[in-house]
Structure 1
Amino acid sequence: MRDDLPDGVERREIDGAERLATRGDPVYGEPTDEGWRAWNPARSKLGAMLALGMDTGLEGGETVLYLGAASGTTVSHVADFAGPTYAVEFAARPARDLLEAADSRPRLFPLLKDARKPETYAHVVESGVDALIQDVATRGQAGVALENARFLADDGRLLLAVKARSEDVTRDPEDVFDDVRAELEDEYEVLESRSLETYHADHLGIVARPL
């Protein structure tokens, strides 16, 4: 298993167990120790990708566009170690919690927008971001990644968590994953894909780069 964690992410003993952790104010009741907050991979697809040793390409300090930020569980950890982090969330209720998470994180920029309509935030998000992180539970997840490819630097990375049941609850998840990978090939080279089943049922983690 790889253990190339980004700068600002460490494996630390918190509450008697070794956990991924970032430095920052707690957001969702996670355990803390001396300024470090545990990153629970069972509540975070990106956390699961890191815990499973996937080569995300994240090094720390990069500019990030995060799609599907919800209430800030994962994107708050990202903003703890990354550079400017644009957090797109469509639903108003979790966006209010996201705003609270951003209060102590000057690099975190919440956007109440629809990830399926990138033209609505293109005037805010800079082009050439280093990482596009996507966790959007909707049909057409590959399409969302393709539409937002415009923001990604030529040497950037797409980190995509695919939820099979959001695509089609009646189909075999492996067939859904195959279709997503095939659709991504219009704009991306898939570098790695791995089941997140250890932490998230019927989910696939994908690392890709623009063609």
Structure 2
Amino acid sequence: MSELPDGVERRQFDGESRLATRGEPVYGEPADGEWRAWDARRSKLGAMLETGMETGLVGGGTVLYLGAAAGTTVSHVADFAGPTYAVEFAPRPTRDLLDAAEPRDRLFPLLKDARKPETYAHVVEPVDVIVQDVATRGQAKVANANAQFLDGEGRLLAAIKARSEDVVADPSEVFERELATLRDSYEVLETRRLEPFHDSHLGVVARPR
């Protein structure tokens, strides 16, 4: 099992050891004092940590989170990271994201399309980590388009959802195609299937070329 980032711990909730961060609850997750459980079944990044992937996440690091949705995962990231830019395209989940950001002064919601990074390039500083959690066709292309924001020693953490690319193709074939596209901009360091937490998902750790 890889070392967890500073600010992420394993703590007991209802007799079960689970990942946890220190912050206000967001999605009804169990809490114990100031600590809140990080539900890996609702978070692909949480699943990557649970399966022992070497994410390169560090406490206080700067993060660009693509596909923030209602803030389930990005709120955990902002609990321990530094400035965290949360890009979400859909207005409805962005309203919930704003609620998650209210008690987190390091979380910056951006109502933008992750496929068009030029629309937020004037806001986002160079980051240590890009989290790619956009469940849409062309997931690797989205990651490539945002590579410009990643520090040279930084990491891309991508969760590739096979069914978002092709609902009938074998997931392994989909993953290989997406990885080939990612290699246009990144060197792939590690891949791991995210079962049993998420079916037909591949976790990817990469660094810029």
Please give the per-residue CA displacement for 1:170-205, whole angstroms capped at 9, x wherever unaligned.
110000000111111111000000000210010000
Q: Sequence identity, in percent?
A: 72
Residue 61 of structure 1 corresponds to: 60
Residue 29 of structure 1 corresponds to: 28
Please give the per-residue CA displacement for 1:117-163, whole angstroms capped at 9, x wherever unaligned.
0000001111x200000100100000000000000000000000000
Return the alpha-carbon distance in structure 1 between the equivalents of residues 102 and 45 of structure 2.
22
Return the alpha-carbon distance in structure 2 between the equivalents of residues 100 and 75 of structure 1.
12
Residue 20 of structure 1 corresponds to: 19
Q: Which runs of 4+ in 1 moved over 4 A?
A: none
Residue 8 of structure 2 corresponds to: 9
Q: Normalising to structure 1: TM-score of the pair?
A: 0.98
Q: Flag structure 1 segments of 5+ consecutive residues without an equivalent.
A: none
The reply to whether residue 50 of structure 1 matches residue 49 of structure 2 is yes
Please give the per-residue CA displacement for 1:22-74, whole angstroms capped at 9, x wherever unaligned.
00000000000021000000000000000010000112110000000000000
Tell me the amino acid that sits aligned with residue 125 of structure 1: V
Q: Give the match's secondary structure for 2:146.
A: helix
Residue 187 of structure 1 corresponds to: 185
Equivalences for 1:97-108 in 2 at 5 Å? Answer: 97-108=96-107
Q: Normalising to structure 2: TM-score of the pair?
A: 0.99
Aligned residues: 209
Once the two structures are TM-superposed, the CA of residue 95 in structure 1 deviates from its matched residue by: 0.2
Q: Give the match's secondary structure for 1:110.
A: strand
Residue 174 of structure 2 corresponds to: 176
Q: Flag structure 2 segments of 5+ consecutive residues without an equivalent.
A: none
Tell me the amino acid that sits aligned with residue 99 of structure 1: L
Q: Give the match's secondary structure for 1:180.
A: helix
Once the two structures are TM-superposed, the CA of residue 3 in structure 1 deviates from its matched residue by: 3.0
Equivalences for 1:97-136 in 2 at 5 Å? Answer: 97-126=96-125, 128-136=126-134
Residue 206 of structure 1 corresponds to: 204
Residue 142 of structure 1 corresponds to: 140
Tell me the amino acid that sits aligned with residue 93 of structure 2: P
Return the alpha-carbon distance in structure 1 between the equivalents of residues 156 and 58 of structure 2.
14
